[in-house]
Structure 1
Amino acid sequence: MQLVLAEKPSVGAELARVLKADQKHAGYFEGNGYIVTWSLGHLLTLKMPEQYHKEWAEWTFNTLPMIPETLEITPLKETRKQLAVVKSLAKRQDIKVGIIATDAGREGELVARYIFDYLKFNQPLKRLWISSQTDAAIKDGFAHLRPATDFENLHQAALARAEADWLVGLNVSRALTVKYHDSLSAGRVQTPTLAFVAAQEAKINQFKPQTYYQLSVKTPLGNASLDRQFSDQHQAQVEADTLSKQQLTVTAVKAKHETVQPPLPFDLNELQQVANQQYGFSPKQTLNTLQRLYEREKLVTYPRTDSRYLTTDLKATMGARLAAMGRFSKTAAQLAKRGTAPDYVYNDAKVGDHYGLIPTEEMVDPSRLEPDELKIYRLIAMRFIDLFKPAYRADVLTYTLKAGDQTLTVKTTSVIEPGFKDVEKSTAEALPVGAKLSGKFIVKSHQTNPPARLNEATLLGKMDHFGLGTPATRADIIDKLQSAGSMEKRGRELLVTTKGHALLKLVNPDLVTPDLTARWEAQLQAIEKGQTTRKAFMGDIKDATKRLVLEVKQSTVKYDDPNLTMKKCPECGSRLREKATKMGVKLICSNPECHYSRFRDPKLSNHRCANCHKKMVILTGNNGDYFKCQNCGNTEQMSAAKGKKGRVNKRETQRLMKQYSKQAEPEEESPLALALKAAMKHQD
């Protein structure tokens, strides 16, 4: 019997179907020589500080830095039930081999290895490594399972990343929180990402617009502009009047044949950028939609890829992929009979864990897709179809014109082969050297524009350029910066909040620039390639942790909490701090020893007033929460309220159903994210 571990219940169910393990049980499927079970994202995480030493539960500088000799894992409370299922299956006497079938990447490897290591699984381990979820890909993957030892370097890199984030993230965040008495979170990736947005804002604030004037003239070749710019309008007009009296002479013609090949398939980063530009999708929204197209619909290949090239073994599948798109595109169906992708697309050396994003051989029915899914599928599919079209070819002529002692330039384009660009063929007028032209020069005023604010697309581009995060984590990083209140989105533009600006002044300079993180990411990739070891990397991380904590301790930078209000805590007299939550803004006591909190604004309940039958709000008093009617002023204690208070209306039922259905398949979270979430909750 072979034990297969998937990452999610939905993937587990699909694997079981393909493997014909059709006996359903609580938490697993069995049959045909397989037991298929699953994790729920991470079932285990790195231990919290207080689980190593009791004194580390106290948030003081005396306990920092916290550097355990060995970082250990512990079960997550929310998923203990499923871990117990996996444990019982792993201990069965008939299990002869384990198969890792989690996502084929660094984080997926960590999910599985944590589980098998924690359970002390001593049977041989094999690895399923596939780039699509089609039946054919799954069958082929199980027919060519690889030893888990082939992925040991990937495992070591995953451990190193998780442990580095624990050491740096928890220690620096705790140091900042202790020093400045506020929940401040800093990390090696999120902080320089925030700094990118702040730096762009600084450029905008320093920008001073300038007006300039340019001369242009209409010619048979098109509008020609003077190379020179004028700062004075009168001077520009005098020059325009002078030039209008003179003939233009063609003094040079430079011919260039332009060939543009169809673009390569998307990687995740570029797809997120294009989806943001065209549809306003956040990176997280694009990734979640893409994940559904991959797992549920089986229409696209592995989402979290950083490559845009394809492997040579895919050549034989191109016709089947195009044919499967017949209901989506007639062009794809036609190309399936005669189309071949150009050789430059296939490059095994430039493909890492996974190749570029392309459609699978699964037949597509566009009517079954949700609107967001169809938009993302269309981007991937049209980019793929373009690969099988001819290159765009055109002749470009650049003319140099003379008017007096002034030089102008103008370009003409003749489209010979529209190719993948699907433009019209065209023939531009050609003129020889020495040809004479005439025309009236006009003056146009222009103003320099400030730099544009970063949006999610341009921020992703900067993160990719500087090596911050991976395609799998960048969406989460941008999302967490917004949920933490350090960054906000207005329309499509990203802005740093007052709290974010304050945080950047407090954080160690090394964590504000991308250099440190880029070096670390390069070292993690070196671990994956076997060029360095996790032990050497972690030695550097421990040294960096000590230095970063010491810098916070010795810092003389002052911090003005932007969320501190003038309201006083009724229990200890300290000032209350505002904190945004999903349920509304809460007022939390700024005294770390005091745990008083309440909602800033009244919460409307479904409980109705006994006098006027209007819905009552929930307020907090010295004796706890109570109901108050804002219409007639009647108040009722919570304990005295009966009947409707205990009922859950239809909307609340839907909310709870959605909440618990999500809990069945939680979003993948890194061990650091879980640890920081628990740490920050401790301080609320």
Structure 2
Amino acid sequence: MRLILAEKPSVAKNIADALKIKNKKDGYFEGNGYLITWAFGHLLQLYDAKDYDSKMARWKLDNFPFIPEKFNYKVKSNPRNRDQADGGARKQLKIIQYLMRRTDVELIISACDFDREGQVIGDSIINNLKPNKPVYRLLINEWTPDEVRRGLEQMKPNQAMQSLQDAGISRQWADWVLGINLTSVATLKYQKGSGKALNIGRVLLPTLKIIYDRDKEIEKFVPEDYFKLTATFQTEEQQEYQGTYMEGKKEKFKEKPTLETIKEQLSGKPATIIDKQVEKKKEFPPFLFNLSNLQGFITNKYNGWTSDKVLKVAQSLYEKKYITYPRTSSTALDESLVGKAANVLKKLSENLPYQDEIKFMKSKRVFNSAKVESHSAIIPTYMKPSRLTGEQELVYTAIKNRFIMQFMPVAIYEETKLVTKVANVEATGLFYSKGKVQLVEGWKKVEKIQSKDTLLPIVQKNDLVHVIDSKVSSHVTKPPKNHTEKTLLRVMETCGKSMKEDEVEEIMGGILTGFSIGTPATRAETIKKLKDIGYITSHSKNLVCTDLGNKLVETFPVLELFDLEFTGRLEKTLSDIEKGSVTKEEFLSVVYNFTQKSVETIKADQAGIINQITSAKISKEPLGKCPQCGGNIIEGKKGFGCSNWKSGCKFVIWKNDKYLATMKKKPTKTMVKSLLNNGTAYVKGLASKKGNKFNAYLRYEKNPTNDYYSWRMEFKK
């Protein structure tokens, strides 16, 4: 018997389907020589500081720095009560332990995601339970039946993954040490009043600094006026075109009178086309998606999307077997995937209006093992989805279209450049015109990308024309734009190296590998956390620092943590541990020394309080009568409950109510008042599974068979 440990129940189901195992028991599948069980992500977490030493239960400056001699793991905490172990996690661990110790189990297969975190999730459970049986690793990029079966034939001994485990543990321990020490000391030093901690993190602070720096650039920006001169020319065939006045490469002029003087001389003057260049140019499709590019594409194109949401939707498509592993930094495919990609293209091309133009080719733009770091770019699998939510459809279509584009004809346009010289004018400059005509639409058909043609009349070099109009236009220099999630992800991915869009994609698989802020998997989480803890906020798609975010950057004395190079080097070192060129001990030694030095720096800092927390008092006004006992319903921290709760009344509408959460809603005071006083509440802007908005009447009624209440939805005409 072989025991497979998957990272999530949905993945265990995919493996069971691939092996045609239908027999599901409590916490595992069994059949055909396999037992398949699962974790719920991390079932174990690192000890809290107080678990090592009871004095750490109270935050005191004297207790820090605190670095355990040995790191221990415990069952993950209940999210509602951190002092208790999570019941579901504890139960599942016992099931896994029972299965590992079964006498008929010969070997164990870790089938957690093939990445740093997946390795730690599987290894932490296996090492904690000490099964004393051979352990193998399933290393696959998608959960389709064919790939699962192939992967089980080509497993590696888990010992071969030691460097990946070291990198995962190094990341986990380093972030614990930095986070616990610097967050605690910074909160004690710079914050007054209880509430959320003042979060300090290895990836949080440099990301905050990127947004802060852009805010300051915009704040300091001083707009400047500049002017342009444009002339309209007419050919002998009475056709017109425009040209912009340039001296060398300069087309923006600070002095308006200079251009006005030239303009006055232009009226009716003859001119000659002294140069004409016509060039056909190729436009290649954008590279295949890695996670950051997918997040940037979706958040930029559609309102209401965050990079965190894109990752969640992509992850759900991966677990449903429709796309390959999404947490990748690569924009190319490994050369071993040529056959698989051809098969996927054949299946996805069926019945497309441009099917005849799709042609499979093994190009270096798509297949390039040198540009693949751990995982290939995100592409669809051979399994066509049947039922997707609106959000899944949108992300899947983007990935599918980006894949198909690679095998469509290259788009071609013709660019014409004219240089016109006006006779009898006291000016050193010339007039430049550009025209563009799309000749071959090619891959642009896939997303119906409209190219704008700029037409010029058909003229030749040395043709005579004359000026029929001219104008001097006024312009103002524009400030830099606020960061959006798309531009922020790009800076994090390239560690602040400034380069053009196409250059970034060309070299991302090469010299910058591993040298970044965070990983594809954690960047979205970092941006979300910065919003949640109140360091940044978003206005439409723009990200800006809050007052607290500004104060933190301007006050916090450990300047290395704001430095992109410093954080990039840490991330690069984790990547080097993965490759086996740096040891876990070397990396952790650097982190521990840095933490100790940083704690002393913060303790010695003379800056005052930067965050004063005043506890917001919740109004105790009665919202209505309790339908259970007639008492008053009042608002509490976690819900709207009965004032007679001490006497045993259990009526409550939780603020994180799961039914409402499925429709992207939370109960409000107005909703609760209406439910209590009218028996129904009209709720606007509920979201369906497909993401469509709708309005409905809701009731909250007692179940006839027990003391619990359930929601009922109605649509009234």
Structure 1 residue 349 and structure 2 residue 370: aligned?
A: yes
Match of 1:463 among 444, 469, 492: 492
* Contact 1:189 1:468 (C-alpha < 8 Å) held by counterparts: yes
User: Does residue 511 of the first structure (1) align with residue 561 of the second (2)?
Assistant: yes
Query: Hey, what's the Cα distance between the residues in 2 that align with 1:302 and 1:454?
Result: 28
1:5-16 aligned within 5 A: 5-16=5-16
How many Å apart are 1:239 and its aligned residue?
2.8
* 2:18/2:146 contact within 8 Å kept: no
Distance 2:109 2:57 in 1: 38
- Within 5 Å, which residues of 2 pair with 1:350-389? 350-365=371-386, 368-389=387-408
Q: Quote the offset at 1:527 in angstroms.
A: 0.8
Counterpart of 1:26 in structure 2 is 26
What is the deviation of 1:104? 1.2
- In the aligned structure 2, how far is the partner of 1:641 from the partner of 1:238? 89
Q: Which residue of the partner structure matches residue 269 of structure 1?
A: 292
Per the alignment, residue 106 of structure 2 pairs with: 96
What amino acid sits opposite 2:33 in the alignment? Answer: G
2:539 matches 1:490? yes
Any idea what SS the aligned residue of 2:521 has? coil
1:428 shift after superposition: 5.6
Cα separation, 2, equivalents of 1:626 and 1:414: 67
Of the structure 1 ranges 259-268 and 225-234, higher mean CA displacement relative to structure 2 is found in 225-234
Task: Tell me, in whole angstroms, the C-alpha distance in 2 between the residues paired with 1:317 and 1:157.
Answer: 30
Q: 1:642-681, aligned counterparts within 5 Å? A: 646=651, 652=657, 654-655=659-660
Alpha-carbon distance change, 196 to 415 in structure 1, aligned in 2, over 3 angstroms? same
Cα–Cα, structure 1 residues 445 and 616, in superposed 2: closer, same or farther, change >3 Å? same
SS across alignment from 2:226? strand
1:390 aligns with 2:390: no
Q: Distance in 2 between matches of 1:307 and 1:64?
A: 40
Residue 429 of structure 1: CA displacement?
A: 4.4
Match of 1:322 among 337, 342, 345: 345
Specify the code of the residue in structure 2 equivalent to 1:288: K
Separation (CA, whole Å) in 1 of partners of 2:46 and 2:658:
34
Q: Which ranges of structure 1 fall in alignment gaps of 5 or more residues? A: 565-576, 579-586, 588-598, 628-635, 660-684
**2:357 and 2:409 in contact (8 A); partners too:** no
Counterpart in 2 of 1:444? Answer: 473
- TM-superposed CA distance for 1:543, in Å, is 0.8
Query: For residues 162-561 of structure 1, what are the structure 2 equivalents within 5 Å?
Result: 162-182=172-192, 183-219=197-233, 222-227=241-246, 228-233=251-256, 235-280=258-303, 281-296=305-320, 298-325=321-348, 329-332=352-355, 334=356, 338-365=359-386, 368-403=387-422, 404=425, 405=427, 406-422=429-445, 429-439=457-467, 440-466=469-495, 467-507=516-556, 508-561=558-611
How far apart are 1:251 and its partner, in Å? 2.5
Name whichever of 53-62 and 425-434 sits farther off.
Answer: 425-434
Q: Deviations over 1:296-324 (max 9, x none)?
A: 2x221111111111122222233431333
- For residue 93 of structure 1, report the CA deviation from its aligned partner: 1.7
Counterparts of 2:274 and 2:228, CA distance in 1: 21
CA contact (8 A) 1:204 1:450 kept: yes
1:412 shift after superposition: 2.4
What is the root-mean-square deviation in Å for CA atoms of aligned residues? 2.9
Alignment pair present for 1:42 and 2:46: no
- For 2:451 and 2:527, the matched residues in 1 are separated by 41
Give yes or no for the alignment of 1:83 onto 2:93.
yes
- The structural deviation recorded for 1:341 is 5.0
Q: Within 1, Cα distance between the matches of 2:41 and 2:307? A: 20
Give yes or no for contact 1:266–1:308 (8 Å, CA) kept in 2: yes
Q: 2:148 maps to what in 1?
A: 138
Q: Equivalents in 2 of 1:270, 1:519: separation in Å?
A: 22
Question: Deviation digits for residues 4-39 of structure 1, max 9, x if unmatched?
Answer: 110111111221222233321111111111111111
Residues 619 and 635, structure 2, Cα contact 8 Å, conserved in 1 = no
- Cα distance in 2, alignment partners of residues 293 and 652 from structure 1: 26
> Taking structure 1 as reference, are residues 446 and 615 closer, same or farther at Cα in structure 2, changes over 3 Å only?
farther
Contact 1:222 1:412 in 2 (8 A): no
Give the conservation status (yes or no) of the 8 Å contact 1:417–1:425. Answer: no
- Render the CA deviation track for 1:29-74: whole Å, top value 9, x for unaligned: 1111111111111011111112222222231121111111222222
Identify if the C-alpha distance between structure 1 residues 210 and 388 changes in structure 2 by more than 3 Å, giving closer, same or farther: same
Which residue of 157, 160, 175 maps to 1:147? Answer: 157
Determine the C-alpha separation between the residues in 2 that align with 1:4 and 1:619: 45
User: Could you tell me whether the CA contact under 8 Å between 1:41 and 1:111 is conserved in 2?
Assistant: yes
Whether the 8 Å CA contact 1:90–1:121 is kept in 2: the answer is yes
Distance 1:658 1:38 in 2: 28
1:174 CA displacement = 0.8
Contact 1:268-1:303 within 8 A present in 2 as well? yes
Cα gap change, 1:243/1:553 in structure 2, threshold over 3 Å: closer, same or farther?
A: same
Retained in 1: the 8 A contact 2:288–2:379? yes
Q: Deviations over 1:118-169 (max 9, x none)?
A: 1123211111111111111111111211222222111111111111111111
**Would the aligned equivalents of 1:65 and 1:549 in 2 still touch at CA under 8 Å?**
yes
Q: Is the 8 A contact 2:5 2:38 kept in 1?
A: yes
For 1:156 and 1:268, locate their aligned partners in 2 and report how far apart those are by CA, in whole Å: 24
Describe the SS at the equivalent of 2:269.
coil
> Is the contact made by 1:184 and 1:503 (CA closer than 8 Å) also made in structure 2?
no
Greater helix fraction, Structure 1 or Structure 2: 1
How far the C-alpha of 1:619 sits from its partner, in A, is 7.3
Aligned 8 A contact 2:530 2:536 in 1: yes
Q: Deviations over 1:210-245 (max 9, x none)?
A: 222211123457432122434354554343222234
- Once the two structures are TM-superposed, the CA of residue 376 in structure 1 deviates from its matched residue by 0.8
In 1, Cα distance between equivalents of 2:308 and 2:652 = 35
Distance, in Å, in 2 between the alignment partners of 1:38 and 1:603 is 47
Seen in structure 2, the aligned counterparts of structure 1 residues 470 and 651 have a Cα distance that, compared at 3 Å, is: closer
1:162 is paired with a residue whose SS is helix
> What TM-score results when the alignment is normalised by the length of structure 1?
0.83
Say if 1:265 and 1:358, in contact at 8 Å, map to a contact too.
Answer: yes
8 Å CA contact retained: 1:221, 1:410: no
Mapped to 2, the partners of 1:559 and 1:253 lie a distance apart of: 67
* Alpha-carbon spacing, 1:178–1:450, altered in 2? closer, same or farther (3 Å): same
Q: Which amino acid aligns with 2:552?
A: L
Taking the TM superposition and a 5 Å limit, the aligned residue runs for 1:622-633 are: none
* CA spacing shift, 1:53–1:301, aligned 2, 3 Å: same
Percent identity reads 29
Q: SS of 2:401's equivalent?
A: helix
Greater shift after overlay, 54-63 or 90-99? 54-63
Name the aligned partner's letter for residue 618 of structure 2.
Answer: R
Asked if 2 retains the 8 angstrom alpha-carbon contact of 1:327 and 1:364, the reply is: no
Distance in structure 1 (CA, Å) of the matches to 2:632 and 2:268: 81
In the alignment, residue 654 of structure 1 is paired with which amino acid? Y
| 1:58 counterpart residue number | 58
Aligned equivalents of 1:610, 1:18: Cα separation in 2: 50
User: Structure 2 regions of 5+ residues with no counterpart?
Assistant: 77-84, 234-238, 496-515, 665-717
AA paired with 1:617?
I
Q: 1:649 and 1:556 mapped to 2: Cα distance?
A: 44
> Structure 1 pair 81/101, CA: closer, same or farther in 2 (3 Å)?
same
C-alpha contact (below 8 Å) 1:213/1:443 kept by paired residues: yes
Partner amino acid for 2:345?
Answer: L
Distance 1:393 1:500 in 2: 47
Kindly tell me: are residues 207 and 122 of structure 1, through their superposed partners in 2, closer, same or farther at Cα, counting changes over 3 Å? same
